[in-house]
């Protein structure tokens, strides 16, 4: 299973970006899908998550500004980021919990390669 994230870039404060992360490979099923971020000198932190039935959770710092969604037919998770702030600058990573076709009894965690979001003031 591979994850390909894209959509990062440079944006001014107050602007918007939409990240996407597509999973490919021998996927049997996907449970939770999440976005994390890591700013320089900081630990990786959870930004938002969405379960297989569509329930969502957000970090307090992004509530009301970010929206996570998923397209199960495309095995893709999205993060719509609005009203961006300089403190949102970080590398954003997608993560999924999935079962692959070769070992569907095991739930594994997979990470994307990260996409850089830079918000200028």
Q: pLDDT at position 104, please?
A: 81
16: burial class by Cβ within 10 Å (0-12, 13-18, 19+)? exposed
- Is residue 108 within 8 A of residue 98, CB to CB? The reply is yes
Tokens 């996409």 belong to residue: 115
Report residues of the chain scoring pLDDT below 50.
none
């Amino acid at each position: 299973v591979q994850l390909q994230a894209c959509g990062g870039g440079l944006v001014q404060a107050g602007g918007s970006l939409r990240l996407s992360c597509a999973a490919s490979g021998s996927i049997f099923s996907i449970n939770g899908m999440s976005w994390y971020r890591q700013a320089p000198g900081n630990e990786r932190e959870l930004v938002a998550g969405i379960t297989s039935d569509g329930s969502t959770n957000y970090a307090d710092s992004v509530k009301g500004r970010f929206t996570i969604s998923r397209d199960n037919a495309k095995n893709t998770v999205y993060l719509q980021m609005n009203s961006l702030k300089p403190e949102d600058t970080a590398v954003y990573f997608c993560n999924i919990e999935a079962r692959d076709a070769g070992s569907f009894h095991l739930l594994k965690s997979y990470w994307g390669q990260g996409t850089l979001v830079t918000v200028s003031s």
